[in-house]
Structure 1
């Protein structure tokens, strides 16, 4: 008979070895509501789930339809520049999150309501892209919140780094 402590230890190790699932939003309205809620509640830890990651860009570049070598080289050069600038770094993402959120007061964010989203999905070389704008309300006013340029990754919709959000 295995002692309870051993079972508990095995179970704990098993849970620790499991990857924590990342949030995945497969529809644009669902993702936009998630982004809005993250900013509304000041959930800075969600910043890594909002913007596209280095790994996701690599996957997308690898899955692309045949592309001329010169264009692939340009894409890789741009990707390498972004890596050198550390735009995928957690600190950079959290700084971008704080910078945008601090454009308004906490009271404003807390009273803001998500109403709807406007978008149109386009297909570029097998990759789905869109520019999404959320319509949000504060008291009796409606504002347009440009969620940003979105890209469909294997992990759901994400904002392309340095391409949103902002007030429109």
Structure 2
């Protein structure tokens, strides 16, 4: 059938059983399309063989942008545009007053890193307002775990392997692209 492919959904009720099942499925060289879980499972990304995320690098760069923006903003507002004598501190240069500006620089660094990371995460995950949910089984939002693997030529063998790993339910799904 053109425009569709077959996948196998295996449902699990325990995250430890899921981890063992993922190890077994990968050892059998089956391709795992996706895993749906109701909460983050620690170590699942390593067991799946996923590459480490580069989001930490982008967070650091976003923090640097926030630091630069804060320095430019403080220098313009407090030194060049409207210098004020606050608490007897002279406002002749940025460097003389920099210790007083450290909290502002810290807060803007964190602000930029946090907000831009949220935007980056949503864009990278292709999440946006009013997006239709892609979850294939509503139970995975509560207390079940689902492994979705590509159906090979020997589906019965795949079913047996998944059942032997502790799957409580295994089904063949015709998934449209």
Structure number with the higher strand fraction is 1
**Greater C-alpha Rg:** 2
Could you tell me the TM-score, scaled by structure 1's length? Answer: 0.23
Could you tell me the TM-score, scaled by structure 2's length? Answer: 0.22
